[in-house]
Amino acid sequence: MAAVTVPSNPASPPGRTARPNLLDRVGIPKALSWGFLGVLIFMIGDGVESGFLSPYLISEGISKERVALLFTVYGVTASISAWFSGALSDLWGPRRVMLLGFGIWAALQVVLLGLALPAHHYWLIMVSYGLRGFGYPLFAYGFLVWVTAVTPRHRLGSAVGWFWFAFTGGLPTLGSLVASFTVPWLGTYRTLWFSLVLVVAGALIALLLVREPVGRSRLAPAGERPVATLLGSLSIVWRNPRIGTGAV
C-alpha cells in the first residue's frame, strides 16, 4: 500500500493567502493605525480654537490689528515648522519629531493659558501663541513622513489620503464642531484648556500605541550631516523642478 502524505497545515490549501484585514482593505497600514487616530484627535484639539479665538482676544481688549499680527506670526512659524518636519524626521526619526512637536504645543499652551491670557500681556501672548505654531506641523507631518517611509508603494496613495482625512477632519472640521458644544457649556477660556486635553490624548495614542520600528530611528544615511540634510530639503526645490512647481 502506498504511503499517504498528510499536509503539515491542512487548513491552508496551497496557493491560498491569508485574507487581508479591514484596515488593509481600506488602505490603512495596520502598524500605523493608532497613529491615524492619534493625529485626528490631536488636530481636533488644535482646531478647537479656530472659530472663536480671534473674537475672544478682541473681547479681551486686544486690537484687531494686533490680533491679525498674532495670527500672521503663528502662520509664519507653522510654515517654517512644516519645512523642518521632513528634514528633522530624516535626521532623528519621525517619532522623535512628533514628540518634539507635541512638547512644544503642550508647553506653550500652558504658558498661554496659565500666564499670558490671565495677565493680558500681549507680548507674552505673542511669544507663547506664535511659537506654538511650531508644534502641530512637527507632530502631524512627522507622522506623514512615517507613513511614506513604511507603506508599500502600491498602498501609498490610500495611506496618504487617510492621513489628510485625519488632518483636515480635525483642523478645523471636528475641532469647530467640538467648540460649538464646549463653548456654551464650559466657556471660552475653559474650552482652550479642553483643547490641551485633546492634544495630549491624541499624542499619547500615537506615540505610545504605534510600535512600528522604522519611524523610531533615523531615516537619512548614517554618514549624512545635519546641515547637509537641512540644505538638501531646500535645494530639492530646484533639483527636482516638479517639486518646485508644485510648491509654487
* Domain span including residue 168: 28-247
Is residue 225 included in any domain, yes or no? yes
Is residue 22 included in any domain, yes or no? no
The predicted-structure confidence for 143-201, as pLDDT tens digits, reads as follows: 999 999 999 999 999 999 999 999 999 998 999 999 999 999 999 999 999 999 999 99
For residue 11, pLDDT beyond 70: no
For the segment 60-86, the average pLDDT, to the nearest whole number, is 96
| pLDDT greater at residue 77 or residue 243 | 77
At 18 the pLDDT is: 52
For the segment 56-83, the average pLDDT, to the nearest whole number, is 96
At 117 the pLDDT is: 97
Is residue 16 included in any domain, yes or no? no
Comparing CA positions, the residue from 166, 140, 164 lying closest to residue 86 is: 140
The predicted-structure confidence for 118-159, as pLDDT tens digits, reads as follows: 999 999 999 999 999 999 999 999 999 999 999 999 999 999
For residue 15, pLDDT beyond 50: no
Is residue 149 included in any domain, yes or no? yes
Is residue 13 included in any domain, yes or no? no
For residue 7, pLDDT beyond 60: no
| pLDDT greater at residue 234 or residue 92 | 92
> What is the C-alpha end-to-end distance of the chain, expressed in Å?
78
For residues 2 and 236, give the distance between their C-alpha atoms in angstroms, rounded to a whole number: 68
Is residue 210 included in any domain, yes or no? yes
Mean pLDDT for all residues in the chain: 89
8-state DSSP, 127:
H
What CATH number does the domain containing 86 carry?
1.20.1250.20
At 229 the pLDDT is: 67
Categorize the per-residue pLDDT at 50 as very low, low, confident or very high, splitting at 50, 70 and 90.
very high
Looking at the chain, the whole-number percentage of residues with pLDDT higher than 70 is 90
| 3-state secondary structure at position 6 | coil
Comparing CA positions, the residue from 65, 97, 83, 41 lying closest to residue 232 is: 83
Is residue 189 included in any domain, yes or no? yes
Is residue 46 included in any domain, yes or no? yes
For residue 13, pLDDT beyond 50: no
Alpha helix ranges (H) inside 112-187: 117-119, 122-132, 135-150, 156-168, 175-186
For residue 8, pLDDT beyond 50: no
> Count of domains in the chain?
1
The pTM (predicted TM-score) of the whole model is: 0.87
